[in-house]
Structure 1
């Protein structure tokens, strides 16, 4: 099936100052993918539409995330986070784990601009709706391209095509693991620096100074990577990567509501597994409780006659990211072609988050 392309762009790179093009390498280190079916996806969802949106109905702060060569099950050692202490006891006990999985594929060139314009709205909603909550915010790595030729292999001082890319910077072990939290996004339109996270972890925790700056840093993933946001989300939720010694040690908490925000301009037809597997992975991560998960998917809506991206007559069921959304009972679907940005979708998801937090009972 031909993949929908939102924008046409060429990926440029350099080698000793000369231009060089390269595709994404499948040999890059990956975290194990959990795709086993648990039965959690048996829940069904009613769907409503509103404009371009459809609705299917402690904190680890502390030790430095300096690189370590030790590992557990192939995942570089991220250390053990300390106990964050007591937090607000409302519903989900005031704890929410946010996973942002953002495509870093070249097709995201246009959408990246709309996405970045939405960051202040995302953070505004967090600060107004969840100020008293103990939250974790992780941007899952879709672009572990350190040392890949597309990013100025062997270049001297800087890359003319991507001048912000810091040649010669050495990666930490977890920088090359797909699904691990991003703390040094690299490539064109990426942050190209180590993000200053007060937690010392690979994710933001409550109390982070300059929250908008920190979030913008980890979420500006660039356009020299890859997509497959569903697969990367499953990677980020594995026990191996979240357990003590894993890259994201302490991120995923049993007594926290799980919120996933997946953003990709294509259908994600190449992620491992099926939409049912992806839904099952979310439910499994919360001990089989589908009511402990809220999913926001922002992608193209070319299967919708009223979609913002333009209808091309896609048969029902072919848009796997939409199917994933519909399989989850508490979800929001948004159009990536919304030039006004995506903050309104996050605000819609926030209402569901607060509702589910009130009724969430940790398993």
Structure 2
């Protein structure tokens, strides 16, 4: 199906500028995000997938057949109006779920990444218990779009400034593209190794041995200074990255529910586009069906008077919160300052099951 041909095309062009994407590596002058309260309100719409049985007005004027004798004992009994069974109940996603994680690697994200990885096993266990044949794709998208550090160029053994950096390791073409699935996170506190994915693709698929270890590898983004999770999400779902032969080939399936998990401890003010653009991108990725998408955003809640991160109001828009509000009712906003994210994932698991039950593939 055609997807994301407008905003994503612009973003991909910028991401691929120069071929190596290193323009975005050292934008570390921003150590804190503008703080503020969201002034937007969500326009929540509830869609239903069940259809009401209707009676035809013409039935009031119709008469029964007179071809049989009224007193005949062999006459076919009048069963009245037989309801049209149609094609049966909606097929649902049947356990097919495409999970897209977009994780900031800002220097302040180390402990938040640890909380995410600690919450993941319980999340997966819940989904596996809900679906008899849980068929998943799990992709962690590249927020940085670069490979390497200038101080490590030419190193053969150990990089003096970054000892854990994989000296002498050559990147694959997709390692340097924003939005592409990460299979070799690099930098401080990152995996710094090629993750072993049984699929041979840039995302985890059902049947992956030691799924938890594989997820820990692709989700250990480190603290190399990259963020912009909303923009990266748009890029990851674009046709250019999901097309045959592209980096994320086959990740998005027409008959699967799309679940996006975006984690960043700022308002994400520098992602290209507006919160509405991001909302439209998610819906377009599923052929215009907003009910085929579930969104979980875990971010700072300093715009809330009783937030866990402490109240620091100003006039800046919390674009990630607005994004979540626009995706209601199939969205959840969680505080990144929570001690763990298990409760958020438990709630989202219920949302996934509910939406999967009514999902009709386009």
SS of equivalent residue, structure 2 residue 247 = coil
Q: In 1, are the aligned partners of 2:42 and 2:322 still within 8 Å (CA)? A: no
Give the structure 2 partner of residue 142 of structure 1.
143
Q: In 2, are the aligned partners of 1:103 and 1:142 still within 8 Å (CA)? A: yes
CA spacing shift, 1:279–1:94, aligned 2, 3 Å: same
Q: In 2, are the aligned partners of 1:134 and 1:205 still within 8 Å (CA)? A: yes
How far apart, in 2, do the equivalents of 1:269 and 1:234 lie?
15
**2:279 aligned with 1:275, yes or no?**
no
CA spacing shift, 1:215–1:129, aligned 2, 3 Å: farther
How far apart, in 1, do the equivalents of 2:249 and 2:201 lie?
8
How far apart, in 2, do the equivalents of 1:193 and 1:156 lie?
16
* Structure (1/2) with the larger strand percentage: 1
Give the structure 1 partner of residue 124 of structure 2.
123
**Partner residue of 2:23 out of 11, 17, 26:** 26
Give the structure 2 partner of residue 5 of structure 1.
none
Q: Please list the CA deviations of residues 235-283 of structure 1 after superposition, one character each: whole Å capped at 9, or x if unmatched.
A: 0110111111111111111111110000000100000000000000000
SS of equivalent residue, structure 1 residue 155 = coil
Q: In 2, are the aligned partners of 1:123 and 1:211 still within 8 Å (CA)? A: no
Q: Please list the CA deviations of residues 291-337 of structure 1 after superposition, one character each: whole Å capped at 9, or x if unmatched.
A: 1100000000000011100011234x710000000000200110000
Give the structure 2 partner of residue 181 of structure 1.
181
**2:326 aligned with 1:361, yes or no?**
no
How far apart, in 1, do the equivalents of 2:240 and 2:166 lie?
31
Q: In 2, are the aligned partners of 1:144 and 1:225 still within 8 Å (CA)? A: no
Give the structure 2 partner of residue 331 of structure 1.
331
SS of equivalent residue, structure 1 residue 309 = coil
Q: In 1, are the aligned partners of 2:95 and 2:135 still within 8 Å (CA)? A: yes
SS of equivalent residue, structure 2 residue 109 = helix
Q: In 2, are the aligned partners of 1:142 and 1:229 still within 8 Å (CA)? A: yes
How far apart, in 2, do the equivalents of 1:289 and 1:183 lie?
30
CA spacing shift, 1:117–1:254, aligned 2, 3 Å: same
The alpha carbon displacement at 1:153 in A equals 2.4
The alpha carbon displacement at 1:102 in A equals 0.3
The alpha carbon displacement at 1:107 in A equals 2.5
How far apart, in 1, do the equivalents of 2:137 and 2:113 lie?
23
Q: Please list the CA deviations of residues 93-115 of structure 1 after superposition, one character each: whole Å capped at 9, or x if unmatched.
A: 32111100000121213323333
Q: In 1, are the aligned partners of 2:42 and 2:325 still within 8 Å (CA)? A: no
Q: In 2, are the aligned partners of 1:229 and 1:264 still within 8 Å (CA)? A: yes
How far apart, in 1, do the equivalents of 2:126 and 2:254 lie?
24
Root mean square deviation, CA, Å: 2.2
Identify unmatched segments of 5+ residues in structure 1. Answer: 1-23, 29-41, 47-88
Equivalenced residue count is 283
How far apart, in 1, do the equivalents of 2:278 and 2:323 lie?
7
SS of equivalent residue, structure 1 residue 136 = strand
CA spacing shift, 1:130–1:180, aligned 2, 3 Å: farther
How far apart, in 1, do the equivalents of 2:91 and 2:163 lie?
48
**2:190 aligned with 1:190, yes or no?**
yes
**2:251 aligned with 1:254, yes or no?**
no
How far apart, in 2, do the equivalents of 1:320 and 1:131 lie?
37
Q: In 1, are the aligned partners of 2:99 and 2:259 still within 8 Å (CA)? A: yes
CA spacing shift, 1:276–1:97, aligned 2, 3 Å: same
Q: Please list the CA deviations of residues 179-220 of structure 1 after superposition, one character each: whole Å capped at 9, or x if unmatched.
A: 010011111111111111111110111111101001111111
The alpha carbon displacement at 1:134 in A equals 1.4
How far apart, in 1, do the equivalents of 2:332 and 2:135 lie?
23
Q: Residues 209-288 of structure 1 correspond to what in structure 2 (within 5 A)? A: 209-288=209-288
Give the structure 2 partner of residue 77 of structure 1.
none
Which 4+ runs in 1 deviate beyond 4 A? none
